[in-house]
Amino acid sequence: MNVTVVVPTYNERDNIARLVNVLQEVFRENRTDGRIMVVDDSSPDGTAQIVRELRKKNTNVTLYVRAERRGIGAAYKFAFPMCKTQYVVEMDADFSHDPRELPRFLDKLEKGYDLVVGSRYVKGGARLDPFYRRVFPVVGNWLYRKLLGFPVTDTTSGYRAFRASALAKIKLSRLPNDFSFQSAMIYEFMRAGRRVGEVPISFRKREAGTPKYAFKDLLGNIALLLRLFFFGRA
């Protein structure tokens, strides 16, 4: 199998080199033809320069630097059309997502799923980040499931994998640029009749740097939920 792991970055100089190295180990251990695509939003801390150095010894690493910070959804919308592999994975750069759990996603895709979401709430999953960050996602997940029939327990999870052929049929331009992109993607796969599943993940506190999710992103998810419920569109 072959896969592209897309990693959006903004001020992740303290994490990105180690993440690339661990992903390379995962690829080798699982005999996976893997590529790593870093999409950096012109980080002022020099994240892109570190990736440029990594590319000298890692031919499967690509780097795209965008002119400005426009949101995680915008980064994925930019990157996905350039992925030419069988599978595409999205993952945070800060080690809140464990790269060594990647084979779980690929195994599920091999069983015929089109979208596999990493869940912190199914058996075997865990949230190890601060408690105050857990309250609103629990409420939001419940609403997405009850009001819209979402088939997964973790609608905002940013660790997920796609079958590229199914992903290519999604009209990305109409989806949000912020964190609500994640929930909108699940809705689009549901609406297209695609097979959506989940695997357990352990979500940890980031190892370095500062979190990117803010109160405005909570508002963005609330707005998306209302649009989907009343109008059926993202």
* Contacting residues for 186 by C-beta, under 8 A, at least 6 apart: 115, 117, 144, 150, 152, 155, 196
Nearest alpha carbon to residue 143 among 200, 203, 46, 228 = 228
Q: What is the CATH number of the domain that holds 124?
A: 3.90.550.10
Quote the number of domains for the chain.
1
Tens of pLDDT along 174-228?
Answer: 999 999 999 999 999 999 999 999 999 999 876 666 665 555 667 888 899 999 9
- The more confidently predicted of residues 19 and 232 is 19
Q: Between the CA of residue 10 and those of 6, 42, 56, 196, 215, what are the distances in Å? A: 13, 7, 21, 29, 18
The pLDDT, as a whole number, for residue 138 is 76
Higher pLDDT, 139 or 124: 124
**Domain encompassing residue 166:** 2-231
Residues paired with residue 37 on neighbouring β-strands, in sequence order:
6, 62
Residue 77 pLDDT > 90, yes or no?
yes
What was the pLDDT predicted at 171?
A: 96
Q: What is the pLDDT of residues 136-175, one digit of tens each?
A: 677 788 899 999 999 999 999 999 999 999 999 999 999 9
- Residues 120/157, Cβ–Cβ less than 8 Å: yes
Residue 76 has pLDDT above 70, yes or no: yes
The residue among 136, 135, 148, 143 whose CA lies nearest residue 186 is: 148
pLDDT tens for 42-74 read 999 999 999 999 999 999 999 999 998 889 999
CA distances from 66 to 40, 45, 76, 78, 79 (A): 6, 15, 12, 9, 11
Query: What percentage of the chain reaches a pLDDT higher than 70?
Result: 91
